[in-house]
């Protein structure tokens, strides 16, 4: 997990963003991509990006999204100052609703460095997937390293996935894969609150 991927396609060197990893089929995570990473992103055939920072998305990245018809879902979570529990919970819940909808896949999740905000969202996804808490924390700490935040892990631990399931009454299961009973989630159109969306 979290390695830099470099491949040589003839004379073109492909480099992934730092902290890049596959979360599940069709779901990826990383730090904020730089222009040097755009060739790598093209290989993912992304349909959506979930951006977890406040403020405008970098213009060069927006141009890449426009060129490749990628939709941006932005949930602004402060990184340097600790957001209120209610604000963080609302943002994570909203991002999860986008994340588990296979119509948005392939999707890339990122914040600035792909550690704390991205790690918190992925941690809550793992709880929704019924991972044991020790495995959730191990994955979080792998990406956050020595900068792991106890407040993030406490948030993940107390995040109410039961409440999220109750909010998504129209969740249905779809099975994909070659001979494997892989369960993926999709929700139908409903009256859930929409995030701030920039459709490229």
Is residue 193 situated within a structural domain?
Answer: no
Is residue 154 situated within a structural domain?
Answer: yes
Quote the pLDDT of residue 7: 52
Per-residue pLDDT in tens (0 to 9) along the chain, 200 residues: 444 455 555 556 789 998 999 999 999 999 999 999 999 999 999 999 999 998 899 999 999 999 999 999 999 887 665 666 777 888 888 899 898 888 999 999 999 887 888 989 999 999 888 899 999 998 988 988 877 788 888 888 888 877 666 655 444 444 344 334 444 554 444 433 344 555 44
DSSP 8-state symbol, 147: G
Domain that holds residue 81: 21-176
Is residue 25 situated within a structural domain?
Answer: yes
Is residue 120 situated within a structural domain?
Answer: yes
The domain total for the chain is 1
DSSP letter for each residue of 15-26: EPPTT-EEEETT
Task: Report the catalytic residues.
Answer: 111
Angle at 51 between CA 31 and CA 32, to 5 degrees: 20
């Amino acid at each position: 997990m979290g390695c830099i991927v470099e491949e040589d396609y003839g004379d073109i060197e492909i480099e992934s963003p730092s902290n890049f990893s596959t979360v599940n089929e069709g779901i990826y995570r990383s730090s904020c991509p730089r222009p040097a990473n755009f060739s790598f992103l093209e290989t993912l055939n992304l349909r959506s990006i979930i951006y977890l920072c406040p403020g405008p998305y970098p213009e060069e990245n927006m141009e890449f999204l426009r060129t490749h018809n990628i939709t941006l879902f932005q949930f602004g979570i402060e990184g340097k100052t600790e957001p209120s529990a209610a604000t963080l919970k609302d943002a994570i819940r909203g991002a999860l609703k986008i994340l588990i909808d296979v119509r948005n896949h392939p999707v890339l999740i990122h914040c600035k460095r792909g550690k704390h905000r991205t790690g918190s969202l992925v941690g809550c996804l793992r709880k929704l997937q019924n991972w044991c808490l020790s495995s959730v924390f191990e994955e979080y700490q792998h990406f956050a390293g020595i900068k792991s935040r106890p407040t993030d892990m406490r948030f993940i631990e107390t995040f109410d996935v039961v409440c999220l399931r109750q909010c998504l009454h129209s969740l249905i299961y779809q099975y994909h894969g070659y001979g494997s009973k892989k369960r993926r989630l999709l929700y139908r159109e409903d009256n859930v609150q929409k995030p701030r969306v920039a459709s490229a």
